[in-house]
Amino acid sequence: MTAAPEGPLVIGVDSSTQSTKVLVVDSATGTVVARGQAPHAVTAEGDSDPEQWWDALCRAVAQCGPAAQQAAAVSVAGQQHGLVALDAGGRPVRNALLWNDTRSAPQRDRLLESLGGPAAWAERTGSVPAASFTVTKWAWLRENEPERAAAVRAVRLPHDYLTGRLAGHGIGEGTTDRGDASGTGWWSSATESYDQEILELAGLDAELLPRVVAGGEQAGTVRAGGPLPEGIAVAAGTGDNMAGALGLGLTAGQPAMSLGTSGTVYAVSGRRPADPSGIVAGFADARHGWLPLACTLNCTQAVDRIAALLGREREQVEPGGSAVVLPFLDGERTPDLPWATGLVHGLRAETTGGQVLQAAYDGAVFALLQALDLVLGEDAGGEEPILLIGGGARGTAWRETVRRLSGRAVRIPAAQELVALGAAAQAAGLLLGQDPAEVARGWNTTEGPSYEPVERDRAALERLAATLDRATPLLRG
C-alpha cells in the first residue's frame, strides 16, 4: 500500500523535443507518487506540431491515474526557443520551429548587424542570439512564409502554449515567464521587458506576445474540460533549463552539466551576464536571479550516431590514439557554427574504432567545458563538483570523459526527471508561498554517487583546441 502524502500533491510537466513527461509529486517530501510519459514526433524537416504536445500531455496525465486528479497545482516546463505561431482561433499556422533548428542563420546574421553587432545584443538582451533563438525564427517566417506570418495573432514559446491550453487563455491572455522569455532575443535582461527596437527590427508586434509573469506569480487556473481538475492553480511555468536549475535547487557556484539530445552547462548567479563572445547565453532564471548557460546542439544523439556508424555499442570506447572528432553533425551553437558538419581528424593505421568513439565523446564534452569558466564567472575557482544530469549522466563513458577532461569531481544526482521535478517545485512554491529552489533543496534532489577528480587530460584538450582552430574556416561552410 502506498503511504499517504505528507503535503498537497502538485504536478510538474516536462515537454521536451520528443516526449512529454508528467510527475505527480508530494510537495512536502518530493516523493513522486505517479508518473506518465507520451511521445510526440519531429518531422524530417525538424519541426513539430504543437497539437501533438497537448495530446501527449493529456495522455501522460491519464497514465498518472487518480493521483493527478488530486493535485492542487501544476506547472509546465518546455523546450526553449521554439516558435509557436497561432492564428485568431488559437491554432498553429504551421509546425513549430524548434530550438535545434538552424535554418534561420541568415536572418540571425542580419539582425546582429542591424542592432550594432554582438556586443550591443549582449548588453541589451544578455545574449548574442544564435540561430536557435526565437527572434531569428520569426524573422525567417516573415521572409520565407509571409502569408503564414500575416495570419499570426499570437506568438508563444512551447511552455506558454501548453500553459495557455491548461488555463484556457484566449489569444490576448497568454503568459510566459522571465526565464523562458530571456531566450527569445526580444526580451531585454537590462530592463526586464520586451525590447521595442528589436521587435521593430524583427517585424514583430508586441501585441502578439504574452504577458511576462513574475517569479512566484500565478498564470491562471485550470479550465473546465481539460485533463486536470478545474480550478487548480497554474504556475508561471518556465524553460526546461530553468526548471532543471530549480529541480536541483542550485546555489551560486554549483555547475550543472546536462547531457541529453543537446548538452548544456549552467549555474545560477546574482550577476546579470552579458558575454559579447556569444559563448554564454545570459538567461534569467525562473526566480529573481540569472542563469548563465552554454548549450551545444550535438551531444548524446550525435555520439550515438557515430557509435552506430562504427558498429559499436555506446560504451565500447578505447583509450589512447591521436584521433580527434568534432561531432557537429547538424550545425552547432557552441561554438557558433550553424552550417558545420562532423569532422574526423588524426586517423592513423593503428587507430581503432573504440578510440574514434572515445574521441567523439571527447569532442562533445570539450565544447561544453570550453564554456564552463565563462558560465561560472567569478565563481570559477570553486571546488564544487559538476552535477551531471540528463540521459548521458547514467553512462560510464560520459561520466569518465567529463572527469578526465574537466579535472573536477562529479556527482550524479539520484533524482530522475529533474526538469519535471523543477516544474513541480515551482508549482509547490506557488501553492505553499515558498521559494521553489528552497523547496527542491528540501527534497534533497542532488543526493547521489560522487566521483573524485582525476588528472586532467591536457594533451587531449590541446589536440581538440588546435583542430577546432584550424578547421573553423572549413566548418563555417
Spatial CA neighbour of 339 closest among 108, 146, 16:
108
Instruction: Kindly give the pairing relationship between strand 9-15 and strand 73-78.
Output: parallel
- Lookup: cell for 441: 533543496
For the annotated catalytic residues, the residue numbers are 240
In sequence order, what E strands does 273-432 have? 281-284, 290-296, 324-326, 343-345, 386-389, 410-411
Q: How does 339-371 read in b/e, with b if 16+ C-beta sit within 10 Å?
A: ebebbbbeeeeebebbbbbbbbbbbbbbbbbbb
In single-letter form, the type of residue at position 114 comes to S
Run of H or E residues at 346: none
Report DSSP state, residue 130. -
Preceding omega of 335 cis (within 30 degrees of 0): yes
In single-letter form, the type of residue at position 421 comes to L
DSSP assignment of 162-225, as one string? HHHHHHT--GGG-EEEHHHHTTSSSEETTTTEE-HHHHHHHT--GGGSPEEEPTT-EEEEPPTT
Report DSSP state, residue 393. G
Three-state DSSP class for 98? Answer: coil
DSSP assignment of 141-173, as one string? HHHH-HHHHHT--EEE-HHHHHHHHHHT--GGG
**Conformational region of residue 203, where left means phi above 0, alpha means psi within -120 to 50, and beta covers everything else:** left
Dist. CA 470–CA 332, nearest whole Å:
17
For the chain, the first-to-last Cα distance in angstroms comes to: 60
Dist. CA 256–CA 407, nearest whole Å:
15
Report DSSP state, residue 298. -
